[in-house]
Structure 1
Amino acid sequence: MGHKVHPNGFRLGVYRNWESKWFATDKEFSALLLEDIKLRKMLFARLKNAGVARIETERSSSALTITLHTAKPGIVIGKGGTSVDQLRDELEKMTRKRVRVTIQEIKKPELSAQLVAESVAAQLEKRIAFRRAVKQSLMKTMRAGAQGVKIRVKGRLGGSEMARIEWNREGRVPLHTLRADIDFGQTEAKTTFGRIGVSAWVYTGDFPTERPKRVAEEPTDGEVPVAAALAETPLVAEALGLPVAVPAEPVPVGVAEPEPEPVASVPAAAEAPAARPTRRRTAATATAPNEAPAKPKRAPRAVKATTEEAAPKPKRTTRTTSAEAKPATRRTAKKKE
């Protein structure tokens, strides 16, 4: 059975970066990894209504930096920054380290796969039909500028007794193309019939793969290009195979150059008109009015004697029947007797 690979993990290290950027020894690695998981779970639960799409962590020897990518930074900051201060104090108590919180605003939340999945889950919790919720989210994402989007819901859809999977797609979502910028997000909707999983793929185009072209270095003011400097010295230019600059003749100072004498303009000879071709006229022979014009005599055909006509034809031989050629049998001889 085929399974879908996680798009973010598939492109990790190629076009995407890690969300946790830190190094640790073998003894400390498991403890720091568990701490990151607890931090993310607590932040997503507390900032559920703030539209947090991604959380990045960076660690140093004595400090922890947390970057929140949110669509509603006002809810995270609060009035006068009180909410951020409270959040920082809680994180410092949990980690026992100095914590720095930075906030980055998401300008187009419709293009974030995590926020698209959360909006569909919120509609399902409000008892809105899943097909209508998926269709509305698809239209909003495509209007925001996405080239393709796919949303999948699975569970007891519509309160049915048997769980099933339903999905819808608009545009194109090339999952196998590594250079494709595909964002993936998933969440769960808690309904009275059970949990419904929601997954979203958003394709916004390809990552830039062209390298910037190198600009040719131009000589600054006062500098002379190397090729021009070498061309001025004939010995070096001949050794390197460069064109040798021919020095100009010196002009004496204070002596005016003689002006060239004016040349009288000679009128161009008029071209003679081309001779028209003449037709040859044949002499007409006088004929009587009642006489018909004489027909030209045909030349007698030459009789060619071929070798086939000269050779005598072979005589026609008569074909003998099989009865005449075969000798008489015993039965025919007895009958004759």
Structure 2
Amino acid sequence: MGQKVHPLGFRVNINKNYHSNWFVKPSNYSLLLFQDHLIRESIYNYFELINNSKNKKNLNDLIVITNIYISRKFDQININISIVSLNNEFFEIVHKLQKLLTINLMKLVNNNRNFSNSSKISVTLKESSEINVNAIFIAKCLIIDLENRIPFRRALKNIIGVVQKQKELLGIKIRVSGRLNGIEMARSEWVRKGRIPLQTLIANIEYSNDFAHTKYGLLGIKVWIYKR
């Protein structure tokens, strides 16, 4: 039986970086790792509330987190959040959102015994420049189409048609699994354009997996992107 390796973890320290950067004694490693998990979970939940307060089925109102990078220096916790959004009005309130998110995370630190009371948090939001070649954003676009009951083949065709026009794209593969179009038996369908050299470590591969909630159950979505 074939064993699958995560395409991002496979390339760490080659052309991918860790999402956290800090040094600690081995006895405290698990504690800081758990703190990072709590911070990321709180950030994702915060933006999920923002998306739910708007029209979640409208792609233009969607805010997608593409990366959360956490670094530490003594009791200072620096958090850099990369965001993709098609709504230009969102980036006009970034500074206000940074303050609200910082306050929200400080409450987490002060009310959770896993954190030191002297911990300080700094949050930076930045816009990701690569929208149409970002695997996470493409997966979210496909989720919206599938949850709006668009047939999966048409949804895949629409996304591939937009993405393959990008100059920096060398290949893309999308796999959808589950009760596609409401059929009784679950199956998997995939589409690929260009090359996806998963065994070439120096290849710049982006990967994302997510779920679409439909009336027939969950649909699993995986996206691989090979870019320059």
Do these two structures clear the TM 0.5 threshold for a shared fold by scoring above it? yes
Are 2:205 and 1:182 aligned?
yes
In structure 2, what is the equivalent of residue 120 of structure 1?
142
2:8 counterpart SS class: helix
Consecutive unaligned residues of structure 1, counting only runs of 5 or more, are 206-337
Gap change, CA 1:46 and 1:144, over 3 Å in 2: farther
Q: What is the aligned counterpart of 1:147 among 170, 180, 187?
A: 170
Say whether the 8 Å CA contact 1:150–1:173 is kept in structure 2: yes
Task: Give the 5 Å matches for 1:1-337.
Answer: 1-48=1-48, 49-72=62-85, 79=93, 81-96=95-110, 97-145=119-167, 146-205=169-228
Q: Tell me the TM-score normalised to structure 2 length.
A: 0.83
2:5 counterpart SS class: coil
What residue identity is the alignment partner of 1:23?
F
Gap change, CA 1:85 and 1:36, over 3 Å in 2: same
Distance in 2 of aligned mates of 1:62 and 1:105: 27
Gap change, CA 1:18 and 1:84, over 3 Å in 2: same
Q: Which has the higher strand share?
A: 2
Consecutive unaligned residues of structure 2, counting only runs of 5 or more, are 49-61, 111-118
Gap change, CA 1:30 and 1:150, over 3 Å in 2: same
Distance in 2 of aligned mates of 1:134 and 1:27: 47
Gap change, CA 1:140 and 1:121, over 3 Å in 2: same
Q: Encode CA deviations 1:221-256: one digit per residue, 9 max, x unaligned.
A: xxxxxxxxxxxxxxxxxxxxxxxxxxxxxxxxxxxx
Q: How far off is 1:45 after superposition?
A: 3.1
Distance in 1 of aligned mates of 2:91 and 2:194: 37
Say whether the 8 Å CA contact 2:207–2:223 is kept in structure 1: yes
Distance in 2 of aligned mates of 1:157 and 1:59: 44
Q: How far off is 1:102 after superposition?
A: 1.4
Q: How far off is 1:127 after superposition?
A: 0.9
> Identity of paired residues, percent?
33
Say whether the 8 Å CA contact 2:179–2:217 is kept in structure 1: yes
Aligned length: 205
Q: How far off is 1:138 after superposition?
A: 1.4
Q: Encode CA deviations 1:65-122: one digit per residue, 9 max, x unaligned.
A: 1111112396766637322211100111212421111122212211111111111111
What residue identity is the alignment partner of 2:17?
N
Q: Tell me the TM-score normalised to structure 1 length.
A: 0.57
Distance in 2 of aligned mates of 1:142 and 1:84: 34
**Structure with the greater relative contact order (CA < 8 A, sep ≥ 6): 1 or 2?**
2
Distance in 1 of aligned mates of 2:138 and 2:41: 19
